[in-house]
């Protein structure tokens, strides 16, 4: 079989591409991690730093992936082969590996969101925090978790198998507007709750003293979050941009994607905190399964909480789905381009493999952490860093020319972009990688090895 003669797929519309990229970016990172980071790390002061990082690091790095994808019109492995020589071509492999590992457990977590959507419709949520935690432990691992992991992966496979226009583009054109509308609707609802004003004060009051005291940990955390939330570092944006036909203004598209991603993250905080404060749940103690424990307990306490909870978890499930299809597409595009396998087979084969790799994560939370920390804090950052070095330092002329296609002569702005990529982005990623490795070693020693000896 060979795909050489088949014309490569393309997005049907500009909005299709933008929605797909927004769908990828908006996920668990926005809905859970972001508001809690803001709440804990100094409120509005952290928000300012984060926005600065999005602009200074996230935006240039997203354009790096966009130009590589559009220029080569290939999957990440093929793309890196084309723009990099020698060992650089192997950077594409890191992207494939990262996507494969991340989706394996992302699907397990997404399975929980489906389970929790149904929970609201069945028995409602448990108001007692300890009971809610017990319920989560029960549902998060074991047969239940594996079944919902399979269900979620099955849906991802079907969407990806239908291809760019009829699968992914169609799906995101429904999902992304739904996510946006429901999120806004829920923020309006949350505004009416008793705890709203207290919550806003907690979420939005700047505590500059926290930043001054803890900037060494806040800065890399903000950089890492910027990268993760924008789906950078695993070739998603390379892959999605590779399906762009005409010469569009990539900077404008990137700004739109980033604007939506940041807005959804911010608005989610306006939902989560009023709910927690109204139910009297402490927002300062998140932890791994927090959305399924403290927030679920808050839903157990609110009037009509089962309904609000169902809508909330349903939205999270949709957000996870639109992120998951982008991860699968990275790997599937590689199999199609480089191996000539047809799309449906590629999706089924890859999805099946990811499902199997996810089973340990559905078996025990410690194993999920083991995969998550490795992929998120090491692989993703490493892939992003190497790509940034390649594009910023070695092929920057080509990259600027590609960025100018669809915009026009960039002049000094092009130079500014290249230097943003060369220095701040590279430095942020080096710092994030260093801290990620330290954290991983600590986790192996304090979490994984003790767990292993207990088995």
| DSSP designation for 445 | I
**Stretch of residues binding ligand PHE (CB under 6 A), selected from 6-14, 20-28, 128-136, 444-452:** 20-28
Regarding 25 and contact with ligand PHE (CB under 6 A), the answer is yes
Q: Which of 75, 326, 388, 396 binds ligand PHE (CB under 6 A)?
A: 326
Task: Give the whole-angstrom CA distance, residue 282 versus residue 103.
Answer: 31
In order of 104, 164, 342, the CA distances from 334 in angstroms are 17, 14, 11
**DSSP helix/strand/coil, 207:** coil
Pick the stretch among 147-155, 227-235, 353-361, 404-412 that binds ligand PHE (CB under 6 A). 227-235
| Least distance to ligand PHE, CB of residue 38, Å | 14
Q: Which is nearer to ligand PHE, 79 or 395 (by Cβ)?
A: 79
Closest distance between ligand PHE and the C-beta of residue 105, in Å?
12
**Residue 323 is a binding residue for ligand PHE (CB under 6 A):** yes
Rule CB under 6 A: choose which of 16, 17, 24, 392 binds ligand PHE.
24
Q: Are 27 and 232 in contact (CB under 8 A)?
A: no
Residue 384 as a binder of ligand PHE (CB under 6 A): the answer is: no
Q: Find the helix or strand (DSSP H, E) in which 78 lies.
A: helix 76-83
Minimum Å gap between C-beta 103 and ligand PHE is 8
Chain positions 392 to 411 lying near ligand PHE, rule: CB under 6 A, are: none
Span interacting with ligand PHE, options 35-43, 80-88, 229-237, 426-434, rule CB under 6 A: 229-237
Output the DSSP codes for 83-147: H--GGGGGHHHHHHHHHHHHHHHHHHHHHHHHHHHHHHHHT----SHHHHHHHHHHHHSSHHHHH
373 near ligand PHE (CB under 6 A): no
Distance of CA 367 to the CA centre of its chain: 20
Among 20, 28, 156, 193, binds ligand PHE (CB under 6 A): 28
d(CA 383, CA 101): 13
- 95 versus 299: smaller Cβ distance to ligand PHE: 95
Q: Is there binding between residue 234 and ligand PHE (CB under 6 A)? A: yes
> Closest by alpha carbon to 377, among 431, 329, 326?
431
Which of 58/309 has CB closer to ligand PHE? 58
Total residues interacting with ligand PHE, rule: CB under 6 A: 14
Q: Binding of ligand PHE at residue 315 (CB under 6 A)?
A: no
By CB under 6 A, name the one of 37, 104, 141, 229 that touches ligand PHE.
229
For ligand PHE, give the closer residue by CB, 236 or 420.
236
Comparing CA positions, the residue from 152, 153, 37, 139 lying closest to residue 365 is 139
Among 236, 241, 321, 386, binds ligand PHE (CB under 6 A): 236
Query: Within 10 A of 13 (CB to CB), how many other CB atoms are there?
Result: 11
Complete DSSP assignment for 361-386: HHH-HHHHHHHHHIIIIIIHHHHHHH
Residues of this chain that interact with ligand PHE (CB under 6 A) are 24-25, 27-30, 228-229, 231, 234, 236, 323, 326-327
């Amino acid at each position: 079989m060979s795909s050489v003669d088949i014309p490569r797929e393309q997005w049907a519309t500009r909005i299709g591409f933008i929605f797909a990229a927004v769908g990828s970016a908006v996920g668990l990172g926005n809905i859970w991690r972001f508001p809690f980071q803001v709440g804990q790390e100094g409120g509005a002061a952290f928000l300012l730093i984060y926005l600065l990082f999005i602009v200074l690091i996230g935006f240039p790095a997203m354009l790096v992936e966009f130009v590589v994808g559009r220029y080569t019109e290939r999957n990440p492995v093929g793309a890196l082969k084309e723009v990099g020589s020698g060992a650089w071509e192997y950077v594409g492999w890191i992207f494939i590996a990262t996507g494969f590992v991340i989706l394996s457990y992302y699907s397990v977590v997404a399975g929980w969101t489906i389970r929790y959507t149904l929970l609201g419709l069945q028995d409602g949520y448990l108001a007692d925090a300890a009971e809610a935690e017990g319920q989560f432990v029960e549902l998060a691992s074991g047969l239940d978790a594996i079944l919902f992991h399979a269900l979620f992966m099955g849906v991802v496979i079907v969407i990806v198998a239908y291809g760019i226009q009829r699968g992914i583009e169609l799906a995101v054109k429904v999902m992304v507007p739904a996510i946006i509308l429901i999120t806004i609707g829920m923020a309006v609802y949350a505004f009416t709750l008793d705890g709203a004003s207290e919550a806003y004060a907690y979420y939005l009051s700047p505590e500059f003293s926290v930043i001054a005291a803890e900037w060494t940990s806040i800065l890399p955390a903000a950089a890492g979050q910027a990268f993760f939330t924008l789906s950078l570092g695993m070739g998603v944006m390379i892959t999605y941009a590779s399906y762009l036909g005409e010469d569009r203004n990539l900077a404008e598209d990137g700004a739109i994607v980033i604007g939506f991603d940041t807005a959804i993250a911010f608005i989610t905080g306006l939902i989560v905190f009023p709910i927690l404060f109204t139910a009297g749940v402490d927002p300062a103690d998140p932890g791994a399964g927090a959305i399924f424990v403290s927030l679920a307990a808050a839903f157990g306490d609110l009037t009509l909480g089962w309904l609000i909870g169902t809508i909330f978890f349903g939205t999270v499930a949709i957000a996870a789905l639109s992120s998951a299809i982008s991860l699968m597409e990275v790997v599937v595009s590689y199999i199609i381009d480089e191996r000539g396998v047809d799309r449906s087979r590629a999706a089924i084969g890859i999805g099946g493999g990811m499902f199997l790799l996810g089973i340990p994560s559905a078996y025990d939370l410690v194993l999920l952490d083991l995969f998550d920390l490795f992929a998120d804090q090491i692989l993703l950052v490493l892939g992003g860093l190497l790509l940034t070095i390649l594009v910023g330092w070695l092929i920057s002329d080509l990259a600027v020319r590609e960025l100018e296609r669809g915009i026009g002569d960039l002049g000094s702005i092009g130079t500014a972009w290249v230097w943003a990529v060369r220095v701040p982005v590279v430095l942020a990623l080096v710092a994030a990688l260093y801290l990620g490795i330290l954290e991983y070693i600590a986790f192996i020693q304090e979490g994984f090895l003790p767990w292993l000896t207990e088995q």
